Structure 1
Amino acid sequence: MRDLTDDIALMRPVLAALQASGTDPAKVLARIGLQAGELPPKRFPHALQTKFWQAVIDETGQEHAGLFLIQHLPIYQGLLLEYLFFSSETFGAGLRHALRYIRLLSDALTARLDVEGDRAVLTLAAASGVSRHFPELLAGAVIRLFKALTEGDFSLYEVHFIHTCGASAEDYRAAYGCPAHMGSERYALVFDSAILSKSSALAQPELLQMHDLLAQRQLSEIERLDLVNRVRELIAELVVENRATLEQVSKRLDMPARRLRERLTIAGVRFNDLVGDYRCRLAKDLLLNTDERIEVIVELTGFSEPSTFYRAFKRWVGVTPVEFRNRKKG
């Protein structure tokens, strides 16, 4: 299973909200092992969300951190999805455009828009185990954005959350302006479907086409990274059996070997380099953190002969495996 990631754009407005609330964002980041100037350039592990929100609670002293920060969020966050809204002909068209690229924000989110008579339902499905503060903040951010995009005409009927424990009914109504239902089957916003036909004052077909192309490129980049990560996972599974070949990996991916090589080239990597990188990291880990004999490490790293392993390791690191182990332990 691939590791889920979030775009760094999800974190920046939260840090801005922390600053506006009087909390030092640097202290929150320090609690999860990051420095303010060391944010990941694009994507960061979704698994950090739980630790991040606990750090927010610790620093703000607010039990319901997501709700607390909603009031301090900037309305516009400079996201590409917002520009898709601006340049679309109607609010509904902009929403449907944005939903096509929801993965630009997070691997952990999927979204769907359904119209049921006079009610529209925006369903946001999040990965299991997500901290409740993430969807609660996200709901508030979406509501604020939708109101701004529609000049205040957006009318929300109710909010649904999967989690069963949270703030009081009064707290949710104060944050969202409507009732919140806990223990639902989905995360969802229910609103007046008439707003979908509201015209956009900033609609520009040329800009929409440009923003759409940019979103497609960014989504393609994420998908290329997915492929590289999946290949790395398969190499890790196959290397111990000495079957980490392009043909074996392509077979697992159900694609021709030639096609896999082409896609990796487009992603800027070579298959043999991925294999070598994994073998090198595994060998160093085994040498440093275990007492396995060199002969065993040779087998675990997928080499058929010790001499081949020795030559490869010296090419990677510059010293022999024995010298590497002795130096590091010394």
Structure 2
Amino acid sequence: MRDLTDDVALMRPVIDALRASGVDPDKVLVRVGLPPGGLPAGRFPHSAQALFWKAAAEECQEEHVGLYLAGHLPAFHGLLLEYLFLSSETFGDGLRHALRYMRLLSDTLNARLEIEGESAILLLGMSDGVPRHFPEMLAGAVIRLFAALTEGTFIPHRVQFMHNQGAPLERYAEVYGCPTDLGAERYALLFDASVLNKPSRHAAPELLRMHESLARRQLAEVERLDLVRNVRELIGELLVDGGATLEQVAGRLNMPPRRLRERLAMAGVRFNDLITDYRCRLAKDLLLKTDERIDVIVERTGFSEPSTFYRAFKRWVGETPVEFRKRGKVNA
């Protein structure tokens, strides 16, 4: 049920790569409904990736835009996950620390590390339907980052993609510095396992503890936002059927009502406030953007009586639904 999201930090290197390639990134941002001048803080729907990459391909006039921009990516960005690498004792320790917090970058990156003999395999589990430009860019970003963190010791052996159609294989070799497989059973990066033992010149146990503490807090914030967003979505679904109670929402989330109430309290919100906020926004939208009769709006917002709806709306907005609609139509 949960909508997949990405953190804007995942796309900031791409914005830098667009600029380095000679393309104005603002042209891409405006086309996907984002303000020019850089990405705002926070997370955005993963579904927006398809629109972003389509716009980027057209602005760059490049069919294989993910691979193209991978060749213009900067090596280091000062992200929290990168600091986990640097403050760890070895590159392998840093990688294992960072993998615990990949959700800070994207809900789609279910990454894990496997060792097979002398080879290490970084598996990047991604959701179905992801545009091929995203993993092709990501592979280049990971290779550049790992090379920078190991002072050039990291050398990729092979990159594997699940999509069948892509650029000519020689273009992948030119950008990644290794062979690439298309139509593989996984998204993966293969490299020599010995690099995992490379010591970090910046290892600092006290900084590592601080970075991990910060990562845990950020992950808790992502999970808090997830819960609130999921509850709002369920409220909308249940109101269509005539009501949305705490017990109903908790049941859909497979948790006891008391636990849901506690988790919402920890997130700094109350269930009744979420209900009120949803009803108010829905009522405003229906009054201003449709010609639905008031009795229909009463039903769609989950009220049993028009009089109750009128009193609630007057309390929320300071005027009756009829007055609000009339004023909105005049100002439109």
TM-score, normalised to structure 2's length? 0.95
Correspondence 1:203 to 2:221: no
CA deviation after TM superposition for structure 1 residue 33, in Å: 2.0
Report the secondary structure of 2:212's partner residue: helix
CA deviation after TM superposition for structure 1 residue 248, in Å: 2.2
Partner of 1:172: 172
After superposition, residues 67-106 of structure 1 pair within 5 angstroms as 67-106=67-106
Report the secondary structure of 1:114's partner residue: strand
| CA–CA distance in structure 1, aligned partners of residues 162 and 40 of structure 2 | 30
Partner of 1:291: 291
CA deviation after TM superposition for structure 1 residue 262, in Å: 2.2
CA deviation after TM superposition for structure 1 residue 36, in Å: 2.2
Amino acid at match of 1:150: T
| CA–CA distance in structure 2, aligned partners of residues 73 and 39 of structure 1 | 17
CA deviation after TM superposition for structure 1 residue 244, in Å: 1.3
Correspondence 1:264 to 2:264: yes
After superposition, residues 43-62 of structure 1 pair within 5 angstroms as 43-62=43-62
| CA–CA distance in structure 1, aligned partners of residues 241 and 60 of structure 2 | 51
Structure 1 stretches (4+) deviating beyond 4 angstroms?
Answer: none
What runs of 5+ residues in structure 2 fail to find an aligned partner? none
After superposition, residues 105-120 of structure 1 pair within 5 angstroms as 105-120=105-120
After superposition, residues 171-250 of structure 1 pair within 5 angstroms as 171-250=171-250
Amino acid at match of 1:308: T
| CA–CA distance in structure 1, aligned partners of residues 236 and 302 of structure 2 | 10
CA deviation after TM superposition for structure 1 residue 111, in Å: 0.3
CA deviation after TM superposition for structure 1 residue 271, in Å: 0.9
| CA–CA distance in structure 2, aligned partners of residues 235 and 34 of structure 1 | 28
Report the secondary structure of 1:82's partner residue: helix
Superposed CA offset, 1:106-144 (max 9, x none): 112110111011111101011221111111011001001
What runs of 5+ residues in structure 1 fail to find an aligned partner? none
Decide whether the 8 Å contact of 2:12 with 2:39 is kept in 1: no
RMSD of aligned residue pairs (Cα, Å) = 1.5
CA deviation after TM superposition for structure 1 residue 66, in Å: 1.4
CA deviation after TM superposition for structure 1 residue 204, in Å: 1.0
CA deviation after TM superposition for structure 1 residue 228, in Å: 0.6
Amino acid at match of 2:129: G
Decide whether the 8 Å contact of 2:161 with 2:184 is kept in 1: yes
TM-score, normalised to structure 1's length? 0.95
Decide whether the 8 Å contact of 2:26 with 2:38 is kept in 1: no
Change (3 A) 1:164 1:300: same
CA deviation after TM superposition for structure 1 residue 256, in Å: 2.9
Report the secondary structure of 2:63's partner residue: coil
Superposed CA offset, 1:49-73 (max 9, x none): 1111111111111211112112221
Amino acid at match of 1:174: E
Partner of 2:127: 127
Superposed CA offset, 1:3-61 (max 9, x none): 21111111211111111121111111121122224633211121211111111111111
CA deviation after TM superposition for structure 1 residue 173, in Å: 0.5
Amino acid at match of 1:314: K
Partner of 1:300: 300
